[in-house]
Chain A
Amino acid sequence: MSASLAKPSAGTARQPLLDTCHLVETPEGIDLVLHPAGLVPRALAFAVDLAVRGAILLLSFLVLGQFGELGLGLASLLFFLVTWWYMVLFEVLNQGRSPGKQLLGLQVVHDDGTPVGWAASLTRNLLRVVDLLPFGYTLGILSCLAHPLFKRLGDLAAGTLVVYGERPQPHPSLPEIDAQPVPFALQADERRALLAFAERRARLSVGRRQELAGILAGPLQVPEEQAEARLLGIARELMGPP
């Protein structure tokens, strides 16, 4: 009875964090971190692509319409290309990014993080026909919402994943403050949390910073209003001399 109520001790494995990171272990023994994209950015990217395709077709029909039967033939070839190959060509030749995905910062990759190839891209885009059923992408949306990695049916069959592309991170600098000794030994993830607090300091409001730092006021044996400065000092010490 009491055992089940006891808090987990510091040594036990922690709960997985509540985020959507997908870890892929590579042969080099490191974990790649992929960030699968959810329904809304994917739908937006698709809408952009739809608009681009519409514009291409409209323009070409206006131009090719001038050329009679030859133009009509070319127009239907183009229609075929744009309908069935637009996504495939862009995804394979442009690092997994159609124009819409590029705009939204998305990218299609294989499940193992490698760039999408012809076979997988063709599979996922041909099977789009089924995701469209019975109307307005219903099956695709349901599948996307139900899957932990937001895959639609085409992605399931092709073994692909839509992820956020990597973006250069801004370079936060630690505030100028004197280094202070670390009062007790820290685990790796505790050090990381502490450094993250210092690095993200500029993005937090003053109240929130004090509130967060205040949690540690007890263990650090300082008054709550000095906890933040003390934490920053420790972060400085952890980083080492610049």
Chain B
Amino acid sequence: MKQNAFERRHLAEWQDFARQLDALEHGRAGADSRHFPATYRRLCRQLALAEERGYGSRLVERLQQLALRGHRQFYRHRNPLAARCLGFLLGGFPRLVREEWRPVLAASLLFYGSLLAMGLLVYLFPELVYSLLAPEQVAQMEAMYDPDASRLGRFGERSSAADWMMFGYYVMNNFGIAFQTFASGLLFGLGSLFFLLINGLSIGAVAGHLSGIGYTDTFWPFVIGHGAFELTAIAFAGAAGLKLGWALCAPGRLRRGEALRQAAARSVRLIAGVLLLLLIAAFIEAYWSSMTFTGAPLKYAVGVLLWLLVAAYFLLAGRTRHAPE
């Protein structure tokens, strides 16, 4: 068949297909979207014919573009986001964490290990805190948790606007740390190692120092509640980063690029969970931890409860006998 005859025969169909594509690309499923798959397959056949018969590149390119747009609409991943989020929340995330227990364990040991060790060391040898933190930082920390002149110490000193300010600040700060800890795992895991250690050491140093100078009643009630979510989130972000690095260091039977891609697909789901944890942490930190009309015992009780809740969630949630849907 001559090219012009071919074009004349199918032109109306192509124009119709382009209209359908326009509608789909703008998120409207037209009335004739039932015929879309059939039309798309026919177009693919026509493209193959046009290439086989050596028709001109103008026609072939036009059909190629239509096929490309059709392919994008036909094979796009269109499962509802809300349902996926809910499934992830109810079972997917804790399951993922349990499946990835190796990097999670490694990151947790690194992070909590350095935190506890540094905290203990600073508590026993107070001058050690200056090996890690500058004197100004230490002074700032002391001012923040000073039982006598604390912003935390008096009921009603912080307005709801201030809560908002701190919420924004926590979100920005903590997400930044978590994302950095994850992304730098791409440097063969070294970045994640570094950030896990440095965060563990500095948090431990602050905790040890403040406990050592007797600010326990302001510091611990403040941090114990959101710590459950925030510290877990940092450890998981580190685990996601370590997974990336491990895929690069030991890709196994895959090529490095492929190993990295597979690891990244799972890591980024961990990061989605980290986002959630950090959001909860920021809420608690801004609206609960700063509340001071409650006594320290209640803060400790709630804090312990939250830690147990987090632990139970990751150990128990999503364990079903039957296969997930």
Contact = CB atoms under 8 A, between A and B. Distances in A.
Contact of B244 (A79, A157, A172): A157
Nearest to B51: A188
B53 to A, nearest CB: 7
Nearest to A80: B172
A119 B88 CA distance: 13
B58 A199 contact: yes
B191 A80 contact: no
B271 interface: yes
Interface stretch (A24-32, A51-59, A205-213, A220-228): A24-32
B186 A130 contact: yes
A241 interface: yes
B3 A123 contact: no
Contacts of B211: none
Interface in A119-160: 119-120, 122-123, 126-130, 133, 153, 156-159
A204 interface: no
A73 B58 contact: no
B67 interface: yes
B183 A130 contact: yes
Closest 8 CB pairs of A and B: A240-B2, A188-B54, A195-B56, A191-B54, A76-B168, A73-B164, A73-B168, A129-B183
Among B44, B45, B75, B186, chain A packs the most CB atoms within 10 A around the CB of B186
Contacts of A30: 44, 47-48, 67
Nearest to A34: B68
A127 B183 contact: yes
9 contacts: A70-B164, A80-B171, A113-B75, A114-B75, A126-B183, A126-B271, A130-B191, A157-B263, A196-B57
Nearest to A124: B264
Interface size of B as a range = 35 or more
A4 B267 CA distance: 51
Nearest to B160: A70
B5 interface: yes
Nearest to A166: B65
Interface string B52-72: 111111101110110111011
B182 interface: yes
Interface in A68-85: 68-70, 72-77, 79-80, 83-84
Interface of B: 1-5, 25, 40-41, 44-45, 47-48, 51-58, 60-62, 64-65, 67-69, 71-72, 75-77, 81, 159, 161-169, 171-172, 175-176, 179-180, 182-184, 186-187, 191, 244, 257, 260-261, 263-265, 267-269, 271-272
Given A69-B159, A113-B68, A158 B264 contact: yes
Interface in A186-220: 186-192, 195-196, 198-199
Contacts of A33: 64, 68
Given A33-B68, A114-B75, A156-B261, A73 B161 contact: yes
A69 B61 contact: no
A106 interface: no
Contacts of B166: 73
Contacts of B57: 192, 195-196, 199
A49 interface: no
Nearest to A167: B65
A84 B175 contact: yes
A84 B191 CA distance: 19
A113 B55 contact: no
B62 to A, nearest CB: 6
A191 B52 CA distance: 11
